[in-house]
Amino acid sequence: MRVEILYPEICNLCGELMNMRYLKQCCPDMEVISTDLKSRPVFLDEAVDLVYLGSTTEKGLQLVVNALTPVKDELTAKIDAGQRMLVTGNALDAIGLDVTSDDGLKFDGLGLLPTHARYQMMRRHNSFFLGKFGEDITIMGFKSLFGHTYDAPEENGLFTVTRGVGRNPASSLEGFRRGNLMATYLTGPLLVLNPDFTRWLLREMGFVCEKLAFEDAAMDAYRQRLTEFSDERRNPIG
Amino acid sequence: MGKLKFILALWMAKLSIPALKITHHSGTDFPGNLALKICPDFLRYVGRPKTIVAITGTNGKTTVSNMLSDILESNGYRVMSNRAGANVASGIATTFIRSCGLFGRISKYDIAVLEVDERSSVKVYPYVTPDFVAITNLSRDSIMRNAHPDFIAGILTSTIPASTKMILNADDLISCGVAPDNPRVHFGIDRLPTDVTACVNLINDMRICPKCLGKLEYEYLRYHHIGKAVCRDCGFHSPDSEFLARDVDFENHTVTIRENGQDYAYPLITDNVINTYNILTVITTLRQLGLEPEAIRHSLERTVIDTTRYAQEKVGKVTLVKQMSKDLNAMAGSRVFDYISHLPGQKEVYLMMNNMGDAANWSENTCWLYDADFEFLNRDDIVQIVCAGPRALDYKLRLLMAGVPEEKIACDLSEEKAAELLRFTPGDDIYYLYGADAWGLTNRMYDYLKKLALQRAADKEVQQ
């Protein structure tokens, strides 16, 4: 099994690289490839079970777009052919249509997702999220972002919102799904925080594990968090 | 109209001071808050002393500001500072209100030393032009408030006036990138025996060359991105330090600073690198202000670094070490874990860096745990780690991911019950790591740990 982390030298905020460490701890034989900004992504030419892209700075988003623009058509074709890819946090904006901010920042994304991001740089959005993946899997996570994404058709969401904020405060969907491309605005170690989702993902990747790494501890923390996130006295907006 | 509004704001704010005193609220920023509400550009109109020094940065700004004020005062300067108040715009406005006359003139002070919160720059620097801005360092802080250091560097660059002279840490390429067109002077620490060339930390926010995106190499790396970097692709490198600390001797508490080719010896009133950088920031700033090395040396000999964030005492048969580790701050946690890991002795660690404000009404964003180097706690001489409070289960999971054997970890959501899980083995050092937002709980738990340590010692006596 192989996973490829795109641009870990810049896409490493919010502890998100721990997503891949956790997968490796679940599947010790897994090969982890780190591809830097000056290298061609391996998955374009070789079989890779999961490509991962995590949160970065606003300059970092532009570097990601610049790095992938020359291979945009290949990337799109790969995604449409079923390449599995997980995108977390603001990295979603690199594969959307464009980003604008109230401090004058403006750039186009790769256009893989039909959405427009808008940032308010001095009004950071912080919230916790409780939602569903499919019918059965409860998802929890955090958002710590400069803004939201707008104007996408209300379809093809990755998660549905139970509590918290989706793609934007008016949307009941969180993130996007395009085939096996899964993109979420949730920041941080999504896979560590969501053992059920991780188990599902590993199964999709063809890895059946009896138990996840540190599963008992992960489930204890998950249940504790679920109690807190379900508590109506707690406002999801931080 | 603006000036009239200012006078009204000033008088109202000044009137509030005795009222606050009577109601025992004199330590608050209410006067500044009130003034800024009435006159949002209050700081534009208020008078100022001849020289203004601003201290900012992620860590160390309080230590540096306090040391600077103390040393300047001991050298006869009349110093206006916000050490008694907050480092945000309202705290700074309060400082000016308390220091000025009825028409806003400031005549009682020669110099202002202002600690300025990085994000508050946007509300301060457009109105108050500092002669000097010293940046201690820029690194990851709370992602919820400060996002990432590049964002903070951008805020500082867009707000610091063009005439302000920057005092920068040459070993921190993030702060070196702030206000690139301003005049500047750098300080740094020469290679130390403990330096490495490859980063061992999870966080390193300077991995690529800011000019060509090539991989940065480090001639030496102290921690995270702090070190001397070079890009082999384009030749970009860390700036040279006009104030370079050499021969850092933690044992004999001495340091030599090379300045203009000449070496000056100073006392080193610390045993760690972080405070060495703080002292270096102070010395460099004082030299910019014209103080002679001899005067600085003399003052440093009589200076004590505030240790409210660290204390240790022998209690019963163990040593209790109280160490603040700022909650929500991965860098702070990593530095504390690293520091502890290098200390001698057998250790038990009590982790209570929860953000209690979030615990009460929200749910703490735990991303920072996954940026912090809990791996430093995976050592043979750390025999037990007890996780306490609302995030105890998250700590446990993170420790397991860091490779800490499960049998060493104990946890409980109740701080008291968790404390009772400590072994208090005679001779052990008990490290109590606490966050910054719950002083009442922090002190109560310290007292409880002391009580438990004494009880266990008495139990041991009886057994013998």
**What would the DSSP string read from start to end of B292-339?**
-HHHHHHHHHT-----TTEEEEEETTEEEEEEE--TT-HHHHHHHHHH
A205 within some domain:
yes
- Tell me the per-residue pLDDT of A161-202, one tens digit each, with 9 for 90 and over: 999 999 999 999 999 999 999 999 999 999 999 999 999 999
For chain A, the domain total comes to 1
Does residue A201 form part of some domain? yes
| Nearest chain A Cα distance for residue B169, angstroms | 22
Range(s) for CATH 3.90.190.20 in chain B? 310-463
| B143: nearest CB among A12, A144, A220 | A144
Q: Residue A142 belongs to what domain range?
A: 2-230
Inter-chain residue contact B401 with A14, CB threshold 8 Å = no
Structure tokens belonging to residue B86: 């907050």
What whole-number percentage of chain A has pLDDT above 90?
98
Query: What residues of B are in the A interface, CB distance below 8 Å?
Result: 119, 122, 143-145, 147-148, 150-151, 202-203, 207-208, 213-215, 330, 358, 361-363, 365-371, 393-394, 396-397, 400-401, 406, 413
Please, what is the average pLDDT of chain B? Answer: 95
> How would you classify residue B67: left for phi > 0, otherwise alpha for psi between -120 and 50, otherwise beta?
alpha
The tokens describing B117, both together, are 């919160």
Burial track A136-153 (b if 16+ CB lie within 10 A, e otherwise): ebbbbbbbbbbbbbeebe
Q: What is the pLDDT of residues A125-159, one digit of tens each?
A: 999 999 999 999 999 999 999 999 999 999 999 99
Do the Cβ atoms of A57 and B150 come within 8 Å? Answer: yes
Residues B326-335 have pLDDT tens digits of 899 999 999 9
Contact status of A170 with chain B (Cβ, < 8 Å): no
Segment A2-22 mean pLDDT: 98
- Given CA atoms B195, B201, B206, B208 in this order, what sign does their dihedral have? positive
β-partners of residue A87 are A53, A183
Residue entry with tokens 């009589």: B302
Domain contains A236? no
Question: What is the rounded CA–CA span in Å between residue B430 and residue B52?
Answer: 43
Give the tens place of pLDDT for each residue, A87-140.
Answer: 999 999 999 999 999 999 999 999 999 999 999 999 999 999 999 999 999 999
Q: How far apart are CA B92 and CA B119, in angstroms?
A: 13
Contact A192 B401 (CB under 8 A): yes
Residues of B in contact with A142 (CB under 8 A): 365-367
- For the beta carbon of residue B146, count every other beta carbon within 10 angstroms: 21
- CB-CB neighbors (< 8 A) of A146 in chain B: 147
The pTM of this model reads 0.95
- Whether residue A164 is contained in a domain is answered as yes
Per-residue pLDDT tens over the stretch B92-110: 999 999 999 999 999 999 9
Q: How many angstroms away from the CA of B33 is the closest CA of chain A?
A: 19
CB atoms A214 and B145 under 8 Å: no
CATH number for region B46-185+249-301: 3.40.1190.10
Residue B25 pLDDT > 80: no
Cα–Cα distance measured from residue A112 to residue A6, given in angstroms and rounded to the nearest whole number: 16
Which element (helix H / strand E) includes B394? helix B392-401
Tell me how close the Cα of B261 comes to any Cα of chain A, in angstroms: 37
**A195 CA: distance to closest CA in chain B (Å):** 12
Return the DSSP state at B408. Answer: G
| CATH of residue A154 | 3.40.50.880
The H or E element containing residue B173 is: helix B173-176
| Rounded mean pLDDT, B115-124 | 96
Residue A235, domain member (yes or no): no
Is the alpha carbon torsion for B280, B282, B284, B290 positive or negative?
negative
A126:B151 CB<8 A: no
* Bridge partner residues of B267 (DSSP): B254
Between A and B, how many CB-CB pairs are < 8 A? 107
B365 chain-A contacts, CB cut-off 8 A = 126, 128, 142, 144, 188, 238
Say if the Cβ atoms of B401 and A225 lie within 8 Å. Answer: no
Nearest to A46 by CA among A33, A30, A28: A33
* Architecture category of domain B310-463 in CATH: Alpha-Beta Complex (3.90)
A126 → closest Cβ in B151, B365, B370: B365
Residue in chain B nearest A125 by alpha carbon:
B144
Q: Chain A residues with CB inside 8 Å of B413's CB? A: 224
Residue A11 sits at the chain B interface (C-beta within 8 Å): no
Position A179 in a domain: yes
